[in-house]
Structure 1
Amino acid sequence: MHIVIAPDSFKESLSAGEAAQAIHDGMARILPKAHFTLLPMADGGEGTAQSFAQQLGGDFHTCQVTGPDFSSITASYVIVPSQRLAIIDVASASGLPLLAHHQRNPLHTTSLGTGELIRAALAHDVDEIIIGLGGSATTDAGAGILVALGAKLLDSQDAPISPTGDGLGRLAHLDLSQLDPRLKRVRLTAACDVDNPLCGPQGAATVFAPQKGASPEQVRQLEQHLHRFASLCRYQLGKSIAQFAGAGAAGGIGATLGGLLDAQLVPGVALLLERSQATPYIAKANWLVTGEGKVDAQTLHGKVPAALAQVAKQFDVPVVVLAGRVGDDCEALYERGVTTILPIQSGPCDLQHAFEHTAENLRRTAENVARLIAAQSEQ
């Protein structure tokens, strides 16, 4: 019996690696003779660098950077020397979990720290930098990244603006002539977990800013400021950054990376599957167990369970999805190759209780899945 365990992280609860271990611990109690392969996954959100490091073999490096609230924090990135590759998570330097709930306000948060991580990675002998775009606390359209890499973002008086969502409302001039010259020697790849544009009803402000603490009025302000940024990029730089898929990722960081820094934007799970050995493991498996914090219709759009189910379907491997929360619009996932979706909560509870007991709930649910597999194998 070969079982592949390949979950995403359970946000604000467990990393993908911790989730995989909890599932393993539950299943191994019932299936002690089974062979388990643990493949922690990521879709471009937090944990992307860790997943690459575990599957490709990489070294973690840390440095002091500017946090989303402009405080000094320690963030990490991964270097894979054998592939001359660096991997950075936006969430490591500019992530929402770095802020307490009362601190979350995307008008005033910045991606400066992510730019500083990119600059740190450029100091290594790498040919490519992969940037995981999920989990940001920002809606600054990557203004902080640009400033950290040497760009000048100026107001009508030629004074530097604050590289925040609010600061974009005073932006009058962009000067990219002093960007770090080392950027020309590396390939930038942005791993996206969403395909939203920068502006509009499906854009970075409207869809994602409320999750980052924005009020309806602040969402309207941010939308106006993102439009301003896109217009200036178009008329001053000749760059159209607003409407391509993924431009709205990470509060508009996708727009800057893809539209101004020539990064290639790709679905994060597809990128990890391409670069790792996950597909051959899945092809040889009897079962695939995956999961994430919330499974609903959005899971179809570049999330780990849907992407893995499509791979497993090619090899007739049954897929069990474990979820902290299950939406009522998951039918399409079964068509993608998912066999069953199971919530891990034992009963009604508040969100904080769910976060605190995720590992325990995963172990218990995985044990029950293993009982069904054991019963089937005995027939």
Structure 2
Amino acid sequence: MQIILAPDSFKGSLSSPDVGAAIKKGVEAAVPEASVKVMPLADGGEGTVDALVRGTNGSFFKTAVQGPLGERVEATWGILGDGKTAVIEMAEASGLPLVEKNRLNPLQASTYGTGQLIETALDHGCTKVILGIGGSATNDGGAGMASALGIQFLDKNGEELPAGGESLLYLDQIVTDNLDPRLQQTEIMVACDVTNPLCGPNGASEIYGPQKGAAPDMIKTLDKALLHYANMIKEQLSINIIDVPGSGAAGGLGGGLLAFLNGELRPGIDIVLEVIEIEKELQRADLVITGEGKTDKQTTFGKAPMGVGQRAQRTRIPVICISGSLAHGYEQLEKHGIQACFSILDEPKTLEEAMNETDRLIEETVRNVMNVYRL
């Protein structure tokens, strides 16, 4: 029996490689003769670098870059096994976890460090960059990222704008002459799982500003600044990013990547599954086990188990989903290639208790599921 294990992480508890290891133990306890292949997943957010680098036998790197508020941070990124594809999580350089809650300030937070990571990847000879853009602390439209790569944003006096989203209100000129020329030969794939436009009631500032520390008056300022920024890009570069789905991702970083790096915005799980070549593995599989921390209606909007189920469905391979918990809407996955879903909870317990023994709970649940499957 050929079994593929393709889980996402159980956020806050186990990484996707660790989840895969626990599932493998459960499978082998019940079906020791099975041939098991672990293919850890991520959907473009946290864990994407880890999953893709490990999944392709690549290499990890740490680089000192500028954090969201200008502080020095050590960011982890990787190069895939092909030696030419970099994988970067913007949250490593410009993410919410890097800023204490009482210091969050989207008016000044910058994506400059994300641009530094892209530049570092170019210095390592990479000609393709996979960039996960979830979890940002920023609302600068990617202007900081572009600045790190050579773009200049000037006010009416010819002075460079300070970092942050608020300063975009004073943008008068965009100078692209010094953009790193290596980017002309570099493919930028952006793992983007939201469809928010740049501005307006569903835009970056209105929807995601509050979690970054934006009060109502800040939200109005940031939205106005991004609208002006987009208008300047349209006027001076002839690129319209205002209403493009996903342009509002990561505080407008999606729009900045479109405008300055010709980035391609795609669902993160699609990128990940392509890179690890899961469809090739499915050709010889008898069963797939996927999983995530919580499975509910949101899973059907492009999360890892959904991506796995859809691809397995094409080749009629059964899929089982193992989850930390099941909530309303999980049953919809039956329409998308997942035959059964199981929660790992074995008795009433607190979330903290469950998270402290996730690996054991996964292993035991999978063992029981596989004992039934053998029948």
TM-score by structure 2 length? Answer: 0.89
In 2, the alpha carbon distance for the partners of 1:82 and 1:155 equals: 42
In 1, the alpha carbon distance for the partners of 2:359 and 2:216 equals: 36
Q: How does 1:1-379 map to 2 (within 5 A)?
A: 1-80=1-80, 82-345=82-345, 347=348, 349=350, 353=352, 357-358=354-355, 360-377=357-374, 379=375
Q: Secondary structure at the match of 1:177?
A: coil
CA shift for structure 1 position 64: 0.8
Bigger Cα displacement from structure 2, 188-197 vs 358-367: 358-367
Bigger Cα displacement from structure 2, 138-147 vs 98-107: 98-107
Q: Label 1:330 to 1:71 Cα distance change in 2 as closer, same or farther (>3 A).
A: same
CA shift for structure 1 position 149: 0.8
1:18 maps to amino acid:
D
CA shift for structure 1 position 325: 4.9
Q: Label 1:321 to 1:140 Cα distance change in 2 as closer, same or farther (>3 A).
A: farther
1:47 maps to amino acid:
G
Q: Label 1:82 to 1:33 Cα distance change in 2 as closer, same or farther (>3 A).
A: same
Deviation sequence 1:162-201 (CA, Å, 0-9, x none) = 3322333333332222211221232222222223322233
Could you tell me whether the CA contact under 8 Å between 1:30 and 1:367 is conserved in 2? no
1:7 maps to amino acid:
P
Q: Label 1:97 to 1:3 Cα distance change in 2 as closer, same or farther (>3 A).
A: farther
Could you tell me whether the CA contact under 8 Å between 1:55 and 1:277 is conserved in 2? no
Q: Give me the identity figure in percent.
A: 37
Q: Label 1:326 to 1:97 Cα distance change in 2 as closer, same or farther (>3 A).
A: farther
1:185 maps to amino acid:
Q
Q: Secondary structure at the match of 1:333?
A: helix
CA shift for structure 1 position 317: 2.6
1:211 maps to amino acid:
Q
Stretches of structure 2 lacking an aligned partner (at least 5 in a row) = none
CA shift for structure 1 position 121: 0.9
Q: Label 1:360 to 1:25 Cα distance change in 2 as closer, same or farther (>3 A).
A: farther
1:306 maps to amino acid:
M
Could you tell me whether the CA contact under 8 Å between 1:68 and 1:111 is conserved in 2? yes
Bigger Cα displacement from structure 2, 113-122 vs 96-105: 96-105
Bigger Cα displacement from structure 2, 144-153 vs 131-140: 131-140
Bigger Cα displacement from structure 2, 340-349 vs 84-93: 340-349
Q: Secondary structure at the match of 1:82?
A: coil
2:121 maps to amino acid:
A
Deviation sequence 1:114-171 (CA, Å, 0-9, x none) = 1000111111223222212222222221111011111112234433223322333333
In 1, the alpha carbon distance for the partners of 2:170 and 2:294 equals: 37
* Aligned CA-pair RMSD: 2.5
2:295 maps to amino acid:
V
In 2, the alpha carbon distance for the partners of 1:326 and 1:103 equals: 35
In 1, the alpha carbon distance for the partners of 2:253 and 2:264 equals: 13
In 2, the alpha carbon distance for the partners of 1:291 and 1:86 equals: 26
Could you tell me whether the CA contact under 8 Å between 1:282 and 1:312 is conserved in 2? yes
In 2, the alpha carbon distance for the partners of 1:107 and 1:12 equals: 29
Q: How many pairs are equivalent?
A: 374
Could you tell me whether the CA contact under 8 Å between 1:17 and 1:40 is conserved in 2? yes
Q: Secondary structure at the match of 1:239?
A: coil
In 1, the alpha carbon distance for the partners of 2:207 and 2:10 equals: 21
Q: Secondary structure at the match of 2:82?
A: helix
Q: Label 1:99 to 1:342 Cα distance change in 2 as closer, same or farther (>3 A).
A: farther
In 1, the alpha carbon distance for the partners of 2:197 and 2:310 equals: 25
1:358 maps to amino acid:
M
Deviation sequence 1:32-77 (CA, Å, 0-9, x none) = 4433211111222122222221222222222110112321011122
Q: Secondary structure at the match of 1:291?
A: strand
Stretches of structure 1 lacking an aligned partner (at least 5 in a row) = none
